[in-house]
């Protein structure tokens, strides 16, 4: 089958690729573009490990067809650190031991990032709700919730 | 996986392409792409339309028209659709709600279809290029439906006249054990003058609880008033059995949750 072109910005830089029609964004990012930060856990929409931000909204890249993202702005966890300095969420995940095997972490961070963009000082319940589509088999969730709350506090201290 | 997607600016052209065998419409893709990922080889072509009318919401004089590609997240945050926010938020987690469309929810098999349960209680009209069908008729015929759903239309009930409940084991997000939506009108003395009650997971698709509706008419919403309605709740149901709950369990707990919704 003829390949089709897709073009979008990924973490601020232009990307253009030829893909097979029907390729998921997850596969296009990982196998074509080489951004392996979104993980393929279930390919069914249940685990959230493949979460990315498309035009400001949290989406599951395993259920999104890459060709529907033409012209979109896509953010993944690999684009968060700047000049070797970790993003406050990444820092907080390390500091609170919110990462063990790390497989869920990029998806958790994407979900948390969207939350903090809209709700800079979330309650615990709001954090739980925001992460409710993301599964972690290792941490028992509490350290992850604490990491998001810590990142929110760090952000508001920096802003003050 | 060989899935080919065709995108059309107009619904008309997309409808024409949908006639090819093995072709389905692509809404948010949360069910149809998942099926492809799981190896469903019956679908090999996907069609979608980018017609802006499909993502529009209009509210005028309590008459609502929601385009079929409107997502659950868009409904949940729409200020004039606040009474539906709970039903829209009942669907999946945040990422799913950013993708899951109203059109797709009308086709979602139990235990899914929570928003369609709300639309059934609202007695929505389902629009296609061929015209509109009452949602109850649409749901009964949906397996053979080959045209793109373009919109749903309904009249907004009064804020206190619409009730919705979803029961799931995992909080805050989980698949339905059951869901119930009710549009209730009450006379000045508090008796129910009309009731439309829709149930999710009580069949393979959302269904009306007609015996319950009838038993509620003229009754007050108190323990005594709703007793006959609760006794009639399981009439005509054929709940699904799945890893979330057995049919037996769903039937047992339905009157309990219906009672809570009616007395709330
Ligand atoms: C992890 C997970 C959790 C979920 N949780 C819930 C939940 O709690 N409650 C719930 O109700 N659902 C849930 N779902 C199911 C699903 O996300 C929703 O039902 C959603 O609304 C389906 O819409 P969609 O746009 O993604 O459908 P799609 O996958 O795009 O389509 C589903 C079917 O409908 C057809 N279709 C879609 N739009 C149209 C149209 N406009 N015209 C004609 N045919 C159309 C498609 O061809 C396909 O056959 C969940 C799914 C996942 C993966
Ligand atoms: S891989 Fe996408 S949700 Fe699990
Ligand atoms: S850290 Fe292992 S799955 Fe979350």
* N-terminal to C-terminal alpha carbon distance within chain B: 49
User: Mean pLDDT over all residues of chain B?
Assistant: 96
Q: What pLDDT score was predicted for residue B104?
A: 98
Q: Do A21 and B37 make contact, defined as CB atoms within 8 angstroms?
A: no
Q: What pLDDT score was predicted for residue B159?
A: 80
A105 lies within 8 A of chain B by CB? no
Report ipTM for this prediction.
Answer: 0.96
Q: Please name which ligand lies nearest the alpha carbon of B143.
A: 1
pLDDT digits (tens, 9 = 90+) for B86-97: 999 999 999 999
pLDDT digits (tens, 9 = 90+) for A42-57: 999 999 999 999 999 9
- CB of A136 sitting under 6 A from ligand 3: yes
A119 lies within 8 A of chain B by CB? no
* Confidence band for B41, pLDDT divided at 50, 70 and 90: confident
Q: What pLDDT score was predicted for residue B40?
A: 85
Q: What is the mean pLDDT of residues A87-103?
A: 97
By the 8 A CB rule, do B191 and B218 touch?
yes
Superfamily of domain B161-263: CO dehydrogenase flavoprotein, C-terminal domain (3.30.390.50)
Looking at chain B, the domain(s) classified CATH 3.30.390.50 span 161-263
Smallest Cβ–Cβ distance between B37 and the set A20, A21, A43 belongs to: A43
The verdict on domain A3-79 having CATH code 3.10.20.30 is: yes
Q: Do A63 and B34 make contact, defined as CB atoms within 8 angstroms?
A: yes
The verdict on domain B52-155 having CATH code 3.30.390.10 is: no
* Confidence band for A160, pLDDT divided at 50, 70 and 90: low
Looking at chain B, the domain(s) classified CATH 3.30.465.10 span 52-155
Q: What pLDDT score was predicted for residue A76?
A: 98
Q: How far apart are CA B26 and CA B49, in angstroms?
A: 9
Q: How far apart are CA B89 and CA B72, in angstroms?
A: 7
Q: Output B129 or B40, whichever has higher pLDDT.
A: B129
pLDDT digits (tens, 9 = 90+) for B178-228: 999 999 999 999 999 999 999 999 999 999 999 999 999 999 999 999 999
* Dihedral sign, Cα of residue A16, residue A20, residue A25, residue A26: negative
User: HEC states along chain B?
Assistant: CCCEEEEECCHHHHHHHCCCCCEEECCCCCCHHHHHHCCCCCCCEEEEECCHHHHCEEEECCEEEEECCCEHHHHHHCHHHHHHHHHHHCCCCHHHHHHCEHHHHHHCCCCCCHHHHHHHHCCCEEEECCEEEEHHHHHHHHHHCCCCEEEEEEECCCHHHEEEEEEECCCCCCCEEEEEEEEEEECCCCEEEEEEEEEECCCCCCEECHHHHHHHCCCECCHHHHHHHHHCCCCCCCCCCCCCCCHHHHHHHHHHHHHHHHHC
Looking at chain A, the domain(s) classified CATH 3.10.20.30 span 3-79
Residue B1 has pLDDT above 60, yes or no: no
Burial classification of residue B149, based on how many CB atoms lie within 10 Å of its CB (0-12 exposed, 13-18 middle, 19 or more buried): buried
Q: Provide φ and ψ at B133, rounded to 5°.
A: -130, 140
CATH class of segment(s) A88-159 = mainly alpha
B82 lies within 8 A of chain A by CB? no
Q: Do A63 and B98 make contact, defined as CB atoms within 8 angstroms?
A: no
């Amino acid at each position: 089958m003829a390949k089709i072109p897709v073009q979008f910005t990924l973490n601020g830089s232009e990307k253009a690729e030829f893909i097979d029609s029907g390729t998921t964004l997850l596969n296009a990012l990982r196998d074509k573009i080489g951004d392996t930060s979104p993980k393929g856990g279930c390919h069914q929409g249940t685990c959230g490990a493949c979460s990315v931000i498309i035009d400001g909204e949290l989406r599951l890249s395993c259920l999104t067809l890459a060709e529907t993202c033409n012209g979109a702005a896509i953010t993944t966890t690999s684009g968060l650190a700047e000049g070797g300095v970790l993003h406050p969420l990444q820092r907080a995940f390390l500091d609170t031991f919110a990462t063990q095997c790390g497989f869920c972490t990029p998806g958790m961070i994407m979900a948390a990032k969207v939350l903090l963009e809209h709700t800079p000082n979330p309650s615990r319940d709001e954090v739980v709700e925001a992460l409710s589509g993301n599964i972690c088999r290792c941490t028992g969730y509490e350290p992850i919730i604490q990491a998001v709350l810590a990142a929110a506090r760090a952000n508001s201290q920096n802003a003050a | 996986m060989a899935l080919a997607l065709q995108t059309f600016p107009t619904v008309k052209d997309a409808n024409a392409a949908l006639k090819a065998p093995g072709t389905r419409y692509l809404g948010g893709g949360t069910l149809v792409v998942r099926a492809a990922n799981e190896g469903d080889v019956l679908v090999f072509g996907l069609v979608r339309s980018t017609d802006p009318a499909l993502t529009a919401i209009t509210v005028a004089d309590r008459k609502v028209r929601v385009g079929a590609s409107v997502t659950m997240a868009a409904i949940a945050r729409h200020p004039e659709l606040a009474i539906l926010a709970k039903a829209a938020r009942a669907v999946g987690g945040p990422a799913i709600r950013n993708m899951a469309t109203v059109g797709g929810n009308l086709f979602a098999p139990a235990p899914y279809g929570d928003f369609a349960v709300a639309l059934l209680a609202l007695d929505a009209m389902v629009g296609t290029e061929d015209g509109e069908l009452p949602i109850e008729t649409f749901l009964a015929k949906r397996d053979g439906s080959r045209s793109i759903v373009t919109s749903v239309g309904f009249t907004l009930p009064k804020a206190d006249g619409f009730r919705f409940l979803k029961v799931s084991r995992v909080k805050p997000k989980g698949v339905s054990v059951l869901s119930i939506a009710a549009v209730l009108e009450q006379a000045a003395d508090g008796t129910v003058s009309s009731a439309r009650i829709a149930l999710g997971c009580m069949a393979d698709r959302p269904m009306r609880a007609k015996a319950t509706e009838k038993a509620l008419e003229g009754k007050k919403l108190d323990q005594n008033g709703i007793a006959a309605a609760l006794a009639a709740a399981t009439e005509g149901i054929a709940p699904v059995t799945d890893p979330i709950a057995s049919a037996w369990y769903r039937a047992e707990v339905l009157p309990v949750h219906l009672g809570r919704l009616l007395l709330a």
